Structure 1
Amino acid sequence: MYLHGTSKVNEKGHLEIGGIDTVDLANEFGTPLYVYDVSLIRERARGFKQTFENLNIPAQVAYASKAFSTIAMVQLADEEGLSLDVVSGGELYTALAAGFPRERIHFHGNNKSKEELEMALKNDIGCIVVDNFYELELLSSICESMRVNTKILLRVTPGIEAHTHDYILTGQADSKFGFDLQNGQAEEALVKALKLERIEVLGLHCHIGSQIFETTGFILAAKKLFEKLHEWKDAFAFESKVLNLGGGFGIRYTAEDQPLPAAQYVAEIIEEVKKQASHYSMKMPEIWIEPGRSLVGDAGTTLYKIGSRKEVPNIRKYVAVDGGMTDNIRPALYQAKYEAVLANAPLEKACETVSIAGKCCESGDMLIWDLPLPKSDSNDLLAVFCTGAYGYSMANNYNRLPRPAVVFVENGVAKLVVKRETYEDLIRMDMSIKEKINN
């Protein structure tokens, strides 16, 4: 059993997180329940930031809020001095509602609407990451009509394929994101952007993938970006003030995963950027990165109550829980793998292999295949580890199941940060066909 952060087995023989017994958490807040180890999030954030600070490198570490966006999480990111990466009007609205410093907000996305861009400009956020020619023209038009200026990064695809799942590759040439660096699109975009009076081009952005366990991809991306920046310095007298190499830093979901420490990712990225800047006699740009999963992924644990059991002789044993693809769609979507234990008996020796089924009316609603567990009964508590990224943020109401509550735990204190949805919440936006239509 591999335990992350402050997780441990307490004197009662129960799993404990943040100084609180998970059995007590389940009894107080119900299940399914997302539990976040706040101390581990802080540790991960400082692991990225402190390396830049120790090496005296100007930088921004922007939390990629798509991994887990709530008011409480955004406020925690602010407490740790992070910047914030948002990709929609909803994530931007959450950031503003949380009181996050606007100058540290970066707005991403491949199809930002006119209303979203107006919202960003009205609130004078720090940077807009422009993804395509349509957006560049639209943004310029809005700036002119609102008589405001803004700062941008141009997102480019450097042609680097990270070692990750095909569904979450974003840096290769065939991608819906960014201006292609190889076919001239990026240069065309730069030329157009430099002519726009109300837009300042800070630099370039790229993102090469997700769940990356080595630094080779980041180093190759930096080399490709600097090759172009060298050309553009000579051709257009343009020097990049900012170089954003994105995120995608991996975490440990199972024993198969071997991520690097945050400090190693950062140190090797810094080394390569310094090397390239020196090689081309260019000013050292400010380095931006965007960790998301690597800040919150292994800090999250989902607690479920075990219910029914089905045994297919000589084939499989199914154990069902009170959640599933509505609170964690990643196994169905990506074939993602997880580890889990009985939270009320984590040290008890496994005596059978079972597959953990969700309660949705879908054969594909399976959370974990072939999990060694002690013999379990209904009302036992299952703890699935490393669900902090893309669990709550991708949660849904399929089969009209309410989304779970979210609890932050730290130093023996539990704080409810997202209430559990009720059945009333599920129908709150519904309209009856029996109601009179006002003309």
Structure 2
Amino acid sequence: MGVTTETDAREVGLCPQRLARIAPWMDRLVAEGRLAGLSVTIQRRGKHVYGRACGQADIARGTPFTLDTVTRIYSMTKPLTSVAVMQLYEQGLFQLDDPVSRYLPEFAHMRVATGGNRAKIETEPARRQITVRDLLTHTAGLTYGFMEATLVDAVYREKGIDFLAREGTLAEMTARATAAPLLAQPGTAWNYSVATDVLGHFVAVVSGRPFADYLRDEIIAPLGMVDTDFHVRPDALPRFCACYAYDRQRTLRPFDDSVETAFARPPAIASGGGGLVSTAADYHRFCRMILDGGVLDGRRILGRKTVALMTANHLPGDLASIGTPRFAETSYAGIGFGLGFSVMLEPAKAQILGTPGEVAWGGMASTAFWIDPAEDLAVVLMTQLVPSSALPIRKELRVLTYAALVD
């Protein structure tokens, strides 16, 4: 994919001059040292109409960031795991309102934190069982240890509940998660969490196959996502980028090397919540499948009604209305959540350009995507800066992209 031509842009209702504003924005981010490198790719009406990369994938080695640079997509893994869950749902193997404990018995007697302190957390029994839908929507009451905001978060850190750990098994890590109290009663609050990692274990148990094998065989390979996996293939390692963070002076510093990286070898745990690496081209194939109602190049991954269910809002309102979200890869007001994606409800309330029904998510290293069925549009942003809250680049790219729509 090269930068779009004027003819290509106009054919799909985009203004070439407005679309051209993306390039100087990208260049400024690199020139000002805010990002090492990045790529932006856009498809509309089934055509790849914009693709540009700039900067470096590895500053120390002088490797350029290109359109086929392999990146850590972290939480952009979650939508693929959710699709795996829904494939098994289509086979009649469970219902969304089934208790998870029917398949993972360790969830049978969960308790919920009500107060206390680090020495002793007070708890009460969960008022109802966690359902499969609770896990898909992050309303199960689970959390992440890295939040560092609650007593339960601290328990996660103490118990080593980390599905990106390079030791242990998916089953063992899930068991650790069930040994910790819940942050909230099931179904009562939205809390970003290890829920999708637990769903990876759920897929393994229900399908009778290792989760990584299932994801490769049923989603990644059928979609032709040739550079997507839980580690970087040896032949693709030269295209793998370094990951960066800011130091106290807001200067880029290495976070994870492009060669001396744990991603160069298969992990002990296949993290369904954040373990994949991928490329812009690969992720666009996933987006296209969602846009086309579950099919790509004649291969059906999901039924169109299943896709419609996944991309609908399953919360009683927006994220801001159900508890007090502490962290997400999206804003809270005007944004709902479906089965694996955020869902745009009210652009005015979200204070950003967009379309009701648009689905999206991002990853810890500032990668992002959104899929807009009404506009037949998909955008993928690839870069490598942690945390994703460091820069407002996702919002900026949304404005630049939507401002180019002129049909």
TM-score by length of 1: 0.25
TM-score by length of 2: 0.27
Identify the structure with bigger relative contact order (alpha carbons < 8 Å, sequence gap 6+): 2
Asked which structure has the greater CA Rg, the reply is 1
User: As a proportion of its length, which structure holds more strand?
Assistant: 1
